[in-house]
A and B are shown apart, each in its own frame.
Chain A
Amino acid sequence: MLKNYIKIAIKVLLRHKLFTFISLFGISFTLMILIIIVSLVDHTFGKMAPETRLDRTLSATYFKFSHTDKHSSSNGPIMSYYFFHKYAKTLEIPKKVSISSFHKNVETYKENKKFKMALKYCDAEFWEILDFTFLEGQPFNLTDVENINPVAVITRNVKEKYFNDEFCLGENMMIDGINYIILGVVENISILRPLPYSDIWVPITNINEDLLEPRLEAVSFPSYFALALAEKPADLPLIKEEFQNKITQMEFFNDMFNQLEGGFETYFETIAGVLFGRSSDGGANTSGLLVTILITMILFMLLPTINLVNINISRIMERSTEIGIRKAFGASSVTLVGQFMIENIIITLIGGFLALIFSIVILHIINQAHVLRHVTLAINWRIFYKSLLICLFFSLFSGVWPAFKMSRFQPVEALRGGQS
Chain B
Amino acid sequence: MISLKEIEKIYRTDKIETLALKEINLEIRKNEFVSIMGPSGCGKSTLLNIMGLLDKPSKGEVLIDSREVVKFGDRKLAAIRNSKIGFIFQSFHLINDLNVVDNVEIPLLYRRLSYKNRRKLALAALEKVGLSARTRHFPNQLSGGQRQRVAIARAIVGKPEIILADEPTGNLDSNMGQDIIDILHDFHKNENTTIVMVTHDEQIAKQTERILRLFDGCMVN
A→B interface (CB under 8 Å): 1, 3-4, 7-8, 11-12, 15, 321-322, 324-335, 410-412, 415
Contacts and interface: CB of A to CB of B under 8 A. Distances in A.
Contacts of A332: 74-75, 78-79, 110
A411 B55 contact: yes
B107 A333 contact: no
B95 A8 contact: yes
Given A1-B109, A329-B154, A415-B54, 4 more contacts: A7-B97, A330-B81, A333-B78, A412-B54
A42 to B, nearest CB: 41
A4 B93 contact: no
A121 B3 CA distance: 94
30 contacts: A1-B109, A4-B98, A7-B98, A8-B95, A8-B97, A12-B97, A322-B95, A325-B94, A326-B106, A327-B54, A329-B81, A329-B82, A329-B86, A329-B87, A329-B110, A330-B78, A330-B107, A330-B111, A331-B109, A331-B110, A332-B74, A332-B78, A332-B110, A333-B74, A333-B78, A410-B54, A411-B55, A411-B81, A415-B54, A415-B89
Given A7-B102, A8-B98, A331 B78 contact: yes
B180 to A, nearest CB: 19
Nearest to B164: A328
Contacts of B94: 325
Contacts of A3: 115
Contact of B52 (A11, A12, A322, A328): A328
Most buried by A among B74, B102, B107: B74
Contact of A321 (B81, B93, B98, B109): B93
Given A4-B102, A329-B110, A324 B93 contact: yes
Contacts of A327: 54, 78, 81
A330 B83 contact: yes
B8 interface: no
B102 A329 contact: no
A327 B111 CA distance: 13
A412 B95 contact: no
Contact of A330 (B89, B102, B110, B115): B110
Contacts of B98: 4, 7-8, 11
B45 to A, nearest CB: 9
Nearest to A335: B110
A328 B87 contact: yes
Nearest to A336: B78
A331 B80 CA distance: 10
Interface of B: 49, 52-56, 74-75, 78-79, 81-83, 86-87, 89, 93-95, 97-98, 102, 105-107, 109-111, 115, 154, 158
Nearest to A339: B109
Given A8-B95, A15-B97, A322-B95, A329 B55 contact: no
Nearest to B45: A412
Nearest to A11: B97
Contacts of B89: 415
A281 B97 CA distance: 66
Given A329-B106, A332-B75, A410 B55 contact: yes
Contact of B82 (A15, A322, A330): A330
A79 B93 CA distance: 78
Contacts of A415: 54, 89, 93
Contacts of B106: 325-326, 329
A410 B52 contact: no
Nearest to B55: A412
Nearest to A14: B97
Contacts of A1: 109
Nearest to B82: A330
A321 B89 CA distance: 12
Contacts of B81: 327-330, 411
B93 A325 contact: yes
Contacts of B74: 332-334
Nearest to B48: A412
Contacts of B93: 321, 324-325, 328, 415
A283 to B, nearest CB: 53
Nearest to B13: A420
Contacts of A326: 106
Nearest to B78: A332
Which 6 residue pairs across A and B have the least CB separation, nearest first? A330-B82, A11-B97, A332-B78, A330-B110, A329-B107, A412-B55
A325 B82 CA distance: 11
A208 B83 CA distance: 91
Contacts of B109: 1, 4, 331
A322 B115 CA distance: 21
A412 B83 contact: no
B16 to A, nearest CB: 14
Contact of B54 (A7, A328, A333): A328
A412 B106 CA distance: 17
Contact of A410 (B56, B86, B97): B56
Nearest to B99: A7
A321 B97 CA distance: 12
Nearest to B84: A330
Nearest to B53: A411
A100 B6 CA distance: 91
